[in-house]
Amino acid sequence: MILHIKNMVCDRCIMVVRQQLQNIGLDVGEVNLGTAIVQPEPSNEQLSLISSQLKLLGFELLDNEKDQMVERIKSLVIEKVHYSDLADSHLNFSQYISEGLNKDYAYLSRMFSDAEDTTIEKFIIQQKIEKVKELLEYGQLNLNEITWKMGYSSSAHLSAQFKTITGLTPSQFKASGKMSRKAIDKI
């Protein structure tokens, strides 16, 4: 059985979810961002226990198809933005999401907007800006290198998006010393 789990955003989340499911006594197969395969199919009592245990850790068991699809869209975006190199990929996110879920992008976009009160495009931009904040905080790359790494066409484009989201330019953000980042699952 595939369990759909909200707020899984990193490898540590995968590890924690795996441990919790094993502690409940389930045979855990593959665990990815947003999903876990378990055997045998959990009883209603076990599902309730799984739900309450995961909730204590900031996760949520998703049981309806619309929520599962929205979470899958988020997982695809998070995986690509935070754990891949976007440089030179010329990634078309709408095509990537549509192919990843084997659904029409217009349908997915409407579903996401209805559920999240924002568009997929705005969600992608917010994720990219949070990643840029992280890279600025580390201080290992300059703005041009970050621009290239994040797949922006120019540093001016990146700076404009950054200022729209944060109210500061990347330079102002870095100089402020207030590296206020949001948790990936809070975006």
Which residues form the domain of 50? 2-63
Domain containing residue 29: CATH number? 3.30.70
Do 186 and 102 fall within a single domain?
A: yes
Q: State pTM to two decimals.
A: 0.79
Residues 82 and 12: beta-carbon distance below 8 Å:
no
The residue among 63, 92, 112 that closes a domain is 63
- One domain for residues 91 and 140: yes
Angle between helices 155-166 and 120-138 (to 10 degrees): 100
CA distances in angstroms from 103 to 73, 79, 96, 121, listed in the order given: 11, 19, 11, 17
Which parts of the chain sit beneath pLDDT 70?
88-89, 178-179, 183, 185-187
User: Residues 41, 71: one domain?
Assistant: no
Determine the pLDDT at residue 84.
Answer: 83
Contact between residue 120 and residue 108 where contact means Cβ atoms under 8 Å apart: yes
Q: Looking at residue 96, which CATH number applies to its domain?
A: 1.10.10.60
> Do residues 27 and 77 share a domain?
no
